[in-house]
């Protein structure tokens, strides 16, 4: 649920008051610095916030990653040193932001949602990634340790591809791209869930199936809320609305934009499929009821007349014609057989059997 609605902070606080709003907390804030240019590369964990400060005006590209945003003073220090607007710091701390980007000319602020499937509960977990792109640095804020950025780190370390040759905006792009790429992993798992649901529906629909459909719907709700606003974000970036993304990077952003559209398309297609499955489920319940009722009706229709016949000759009237005849009993049994035959014929003609 926590992904669905923004936890209400205390209303009426002075805007720009820094309060952390959100559930999970990393145990300790962890700051990692990756600093590189085409020739050199350095990676280290910062023990104090102040270690990041010199990189503000260096000639290299610097990626400062902050895991854990519950220690408000750390965020504030970074914000002050890098000249970040207080309202924006407030946004970083509110982990239920809608994906958006804001251009402050000397830096761009991008909020994204990183989705990961929790291995234990099988829920989709939403983590807010705040990204600040300055002229020569990228600062990312994550709610907790653990992310999907390892391939990017790897490419920087090993100087693979063009990332070390490019500037900070390409790094920002790479991080956004990795997050969007990861949506496809989530989509694939949702898609597999839908496929197995479809099989369940055909083979043996049960209450469990209904519950699973509901779960898939919620997964898709989470996806939609993460992806729909993303579309506008990347559309804006890709149109070059911010001068910090250089022209050479825009073509890459266009690629990310295409992927975002694909994710949205797929989510919408999934919605259609689940809606259609719901219909099938409902009609399979009705079908099953029909089947049960047919059995009941067949049984009743056969045995009620029979029981009636036995009732007639179970009466104690003194005079009941073939009662005393030797063949009476057999005639009666024959009559019953006739009734059964007629009934069976009737049901067959109605295609109930």
Q: Which residues from 251-270 bind a second copy, rule CB under 8 A? A: 251-252, 254-255, 258, 261-262, 265-266, 269-270
Tell me how far CA of residue 329 lies from CA of 70, 187, 298, 303, 326, in angstroms. 90, 72, 25, 18, 7
Tell me how far CA of residue 321 lies from CA of 154, 180, 312, 329, 332, in angstroms. 101, 89, 11, 12, 12
Q: How far is the CB of 57 from a second copy (least distance, A)?
A: 26
Closer to a second copy by CB, 17 or 48: give it: 17
Q: Which stretch binds a second copy (CB under 8 A): 35-43, 47-55, 123-131, 212-220?
A: 212-220
- Is 167 within 8 Å of 36 (Cβ atoms)? no
Q: How many residues of this chain bind a second copy (CB under 8 A)?
A: 122
Those residues whose C-beta lies under 8 Å from the C-beta of residue 169, and which sit 6 or more positions away, are 133, 244, 245, 246, 249
Q: Which stretch binds a second copy (CB under 8 A): 27-35, 42-50, 69-77, 93-101?
A: 93-101
Residue positions counted in the chain: 353
Closer to a second copy by CB, 39 or 326: give it: 326
When asked if residue 279 is in the footprint of a second copy (CB under 8 A), the reply is yes
When asked if residue 105 is in the footprint of a second copy (CB under 8 A), the reply is no
Instruction: Tell me which residue of 39, 91, 84 sits closest to 64, measured CA to CA.
Output: 84
Note every long-range contact of 299-305, with CB atoms under 8 Å and residues 24 or more positions apart, other chains counting. Answer: 301/343, 301/346, 301/347, 302/339, 302/340, 302/343, 302/344, 305/339, 305/343
CA distance 33 to 42: 8
Q: Which stretch binds a second copy (CB under 8 A): 41-49, 57-65, 123-131, 246-254?
A: 246-254
When asked if residue 352 is in the footprint of a second copy (CB under 8 A), the reply is yes
When asked if residue 17 is in the footprint of a second copy (CB under 8 A), the reply is yes
Closer to a second copy by CB, 187 or 237: give it: 187
**Binding a second copy by CB under 8 A: which of 303, 334, 345, 353?**
303
When asked if residue 178 is in the footprint of a second copy (CB under 8 A), the reply is yes
**Binding a second copy by CB under 8 A: which of 37, 116, 144, 301?**
301
Closer to a second copy by CB, 29 or 220: give it: 220
Those residues whose C-beta lies under 8 Å from the C-beta of residue 133, and which sit 6 or more positions away, are 107, 108, 110, 168, 169, 172, 244, 245
Q: Which stretch binds a second copy (CB under 8 A): 59-67, 71-79, 115-123, 200-208?
A: 200-208
Residues 321 to 340 in contact with a second copy, rule: CB under 8 A: 321, 323-326, 328-329, 332-333
**Binding a second copy by CB under 8 A: which of 74, 217, 231, 344?**
217
């Amino acid at each position: 649920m926590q992904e669905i609605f923004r936890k209400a902070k205390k209303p009426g606080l002075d805007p720009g008051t820094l309060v952390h709003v959100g559930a999970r907390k990393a145990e300790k804030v962890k700051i990692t610095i990756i600093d590189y240019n085409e020739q050199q590369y350095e990676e280290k964990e910062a023990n104090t916030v102040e270690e990041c400060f010199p990189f503000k005006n260096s000639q290299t590209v610097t990626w400062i990653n902050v895991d854990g945003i519950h220690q408000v003073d750390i965020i504030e220090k970074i914000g002050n040193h890098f000249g970040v607007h207080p309202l924006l710091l407030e946004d970083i701390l509110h982990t239920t932001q809608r994906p958006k980007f804001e251009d402050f000319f000397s830096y761009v602020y991008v909020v994204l949602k990183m989705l990961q499937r929790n291995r234990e509960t099988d829920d989709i977990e939403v983590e807010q990634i705040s990204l600040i792109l300055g002229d020569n640095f990228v600062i990312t804020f994550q709610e907790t340790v653990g992310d999907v950025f390892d391939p990017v780190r790897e490419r920087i370390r090993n100087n693979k591809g063009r990332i070390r040759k490019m500037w900070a905006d390409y790094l920002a792009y790479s991080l956004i791209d990795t997050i969007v790429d990861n949506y496809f992993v989530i989509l694939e798992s949702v898609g597999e869930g839908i496929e197995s649901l479809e099989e369940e529906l055909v083979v043996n629909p049960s209450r469990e199936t209904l519950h699973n459909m509901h779960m898939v719907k919620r997964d898709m709700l989470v996806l939609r809320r993460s992806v729909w606003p993303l579309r506008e974000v990347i559309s804006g970036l890709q149109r070059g609305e911010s001068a910090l993304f250089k022209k050479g990077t825009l073509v890459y952003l266009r690629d990310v934009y295409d992927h975002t559209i694909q994710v949205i398309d797929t989510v919408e297609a999934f919605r259609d499929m689940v809606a259609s499955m719901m219909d099938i489920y409902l009609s399979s319940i009705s079908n099953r009821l029909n089947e049960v009722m047919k059995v009941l009706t067949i049984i009743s229709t056969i045995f009620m007349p029979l029981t009636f016949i036995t009732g007639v000759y179970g009466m104690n009237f003194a005079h009941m014609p073939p009662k005393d005849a030797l063949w009476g009993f057999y005639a009666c049994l024959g009559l019953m057989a006739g009734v059964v035959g007629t009934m069976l014929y009737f049901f067959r003609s109605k295609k109930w059997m």
